[in-house]
Structure 1
Amino acid sequence: MIREMTKADFEIFWPTFRDIVVAQESYAFDPQINIETAYQLWCKQTRASFVFTQNDQILGSYYIKSNGMGPSDHICNCGYMVSELARGKGIASKLCEHSQATAKALGYSAMQFNSVVSTNQIAIKLWQKLGFTIIGTIPEAYRHAQLGLVDSYIMHKALIR
């Protein structure tokens, strides 16, 4: 089940959020981020945030927000996180499909991912399977904890044609 995230949900989800950020493999968030700053970033500075629950456990989450302002506010941006224990079970795919439907309902005509780390091949293949294309490469844009400087991709999908 996917539903809007509450502050209590975020507190439960915090260990997953923290672990993903501390790993420094996919998100360009400060690894020293605290729970309140993370909550503001994920839930308050966004248009909405959602959780994927199963058997009363929060296994994943996403946020949706405008990618730009004014004349560029018709394109949205999303971020997704899935608990390590739940990876490989189709949750990211369900979250992305839900986010696209949400984006359309909110009036967005396209979705753009601003920085998909090039070494995150599982995510890249999933996003491509769901219709996203790589429209640009940012050289050495990400300091990967294990691999050093790696490229990031900008990915895009039109939602309304």
Structure 2
Amino acid sequence: MADLVIRPFAPSDSDGVWDMLQPVFSAGETYAIDPAISREGALAYWLTGHEVFVVEEEGVFLGTYFLCPNQKGGGSHVCNCGFVTAQAATGKGVARRMLAHSLEAAPQRGFRAMQFNFVVSTNSRAVAIWQSHGFDIVGRLPGAFKHPVHGYVDALVMYRDLTGPAPEAK
């Protein structure tokens, strides 16, 4: 993955982003999104009010993520992100690269912390990646997510301060 490029979303990327979002959203295992969401609805959700990036290698889309304020006003110094990896790129370090990119981009935009509001507890790969990059589980919402396979599972709130020295990735 030496030729991996992370760049801002361009309108011409819509088809590639949809191709990554559709299987993740329709699976209903990691995002609290209607699995039957339309293409237009999914793209509106992903693009509206977010700074969006795409990850590609030799023109092939491998992932996408967004960065935005978690709240308005007094909470706007804390950012939030959403990450999706293309199915063919799962397990190849794309999520780690997107997270590293977001951890560099966020302070450049004035964010002092990053918070993930609703990490599905059964998404163990994501939880492990976030924890290995210094995120703490600061809240647990019991049974807050209805997983299509596991039933009602917890959602986690994960947080990392961005103002001090970066913790070493584990």
Are residues 1:16 and 2:20 paired? Answer: yes
1:59: which partner in 2? 62
* Selected match of 2:83 from 70, 80, 84: 80
SS at match of 2:31: coil
- Identity among equivalent positions (%) equals 38
Task: In structure 1, give the amino acid aligned to 2:31.
Answer: Y
The alpha carbon displacement at 1:100 in A equals 1.1
SS at match of 1:146: coil
Task: In structure 2, give the amino acid aligned to 1:126.
Answer: I
2:167: which partner in 1? none
SS at match of 1:104: helix
Give me the TM-score of the superposition, normalised by structure 2.
0.91
| Separation (CA, whole Å) in 1 of partners of 2:10 and 2:41 | 15
Are residues 1:40 and 2:44 paired? Answer: yes
Q: CA RMSD in A?
A: 0.9
The alpha carbon displacement at 1:8 in A equals 2.0
Give me the TM-score of the superposition, normalised by structure 1.
0.96
| Separation (CA, whole Å) in 2 of partners of 1:85 and 1:115 | 24
Are residues 1:108 and 2:120 paired? Answer: no
1:2: which partner in 2? 6
Task: In structure 2, give the amino acid aligned to 1:2.
Answer: I
SS at match of 2:134: coil
Task: In structure 2, give the amino acid aligned to 1:51.
Answer: V
1:149: which partner in 2? 152
- Describe the superposition over 1:125-152 as per-residue Cα deviations: whole angstroms up to 9, x where unpaired: 0100011010010010101011110001
Task: In structure 2, give the amino acid aligned to 1:67.
Answer: N
Task: Mark the runs of 5 or more structure 2 residues left unpaired by the alignment.
Answer: 165-170
Are residues 1:26 and 2:59 paired? Answer: no
| Separation (CA, whole Å) in 2 of partners of 1:41 and 1:151 | 23
1:96: which partner in 2? 99
- Describe the superposition over 1:15-43 as per-residue Cα deviations: whole angstroms up to 9, x where unpaired: 22011011111011111211222222111
The 8 Å contact of residues 109 and 158 in structure 1, kept in 2 or not, is answered as yes
The 8 Å contact of residues 7 and 39 in structure 1, kept in 2 or not, is answered as no
The alpha carbon displacement at 1:6 in A equals 1.5
Task: In structure 2, give the amino acid aligned to 1:83.
Answer: A
| Separation (CA, whole Å) in 2 of partners of 1:153 and 1:84 | 23
| Separation (CA, whole Å) in 2 of partners of 1:42 and 1:137 | 25
Instruction: Count residues in correspondence.
Output: 160
The alpha carbon displacement at 1:44 in A equals 2.1
| Separation (CA, whole Å) in 1 of partners of 2:147 and 2:96 | 24
The 8 Å contact of residues 116 and 155 in structure 1, kept in 2 or not, is answered as yes
| Separation (CA, whole Å) in 1 of partners of 2:145 and 2:152 | 6
2:128: which partner in 1? 125
Task: Mark the runs of 5 or more structure 1 residues left unpaired by the alignment.
Answer: none
SS at match of 1:92: helix
1:159: which partner in 2? 162
